[in-house]
Amino acid sequence: MNWTVYLSGEIHTDWRDQIEQGAKARSLPVTFTSAVTDHAASDAAGDMLGAEAVGFWRDHKSSKVNGIRTRTLIERCDVAVVRFAEHYKQWNAAFDAGFCAALGKPYITLHDEDIVHPLKEVDAAAMAWAQTPQQVVEILAYVVTAR
């Protein structure tokens, strides 16, 4: 039985790679999905539909194009991992967590201890809080293989 895991949030470190490598090393039957993680490409996603003079609308258009991908992948996934880092706002990650919560889709948060307090509502609806990508891999291994 294959599992699909959506990786949401911070794009500045290699946490996605670490989780994917860890899962591969253990041969877990997991398919990982993600938003477009190339920052510039993501910001420009709507440009292919014509340039915008106003920043708000350029962002709006790009976010909606990105939303076709993210909404579909979140609805298809079995579990999501939502990553927060201290120095970024990442309101989109918290948005994804709320979206999962409303759908009854289980998610795991991944963040350091020093942001526990501002993330308390997001963590309260999560199924687990991990501090390292390795812990995420361990949880996935346990959940998926029952060993």
> Residue 78 interacts with a second copy (CB under 8 A)?
yes
Helix ranges (H only) for 44-126 are 55-76, 91-103, 120-124
Instruction: Identify the CA nearest to 74 among candidates 89, 95, 90.
Output: 95
Query: Closest distance between a second copy and the C-beta of residue 18, in Å?
Result: 16
CB 74, CB 99: distance < 8 Å: yes
> Residue 85 interacts with a second copy (CB under 8 A)?
no
> Residue 7 interacts with a second copy (CB under 8 A)?
no
Residue 141's φ and ψ, nearest 5 degrees, are -60, -45
State which of positions 20-59 bind a second copy (CB under 8 A).
Answer: 31, 33-37, 41, 45-46, 48-50, 52-57, 59
State which of positions 86-125 bind a second copy (CB under 8 A).
Answer: 89-104, 106, 108, 113, 115-125
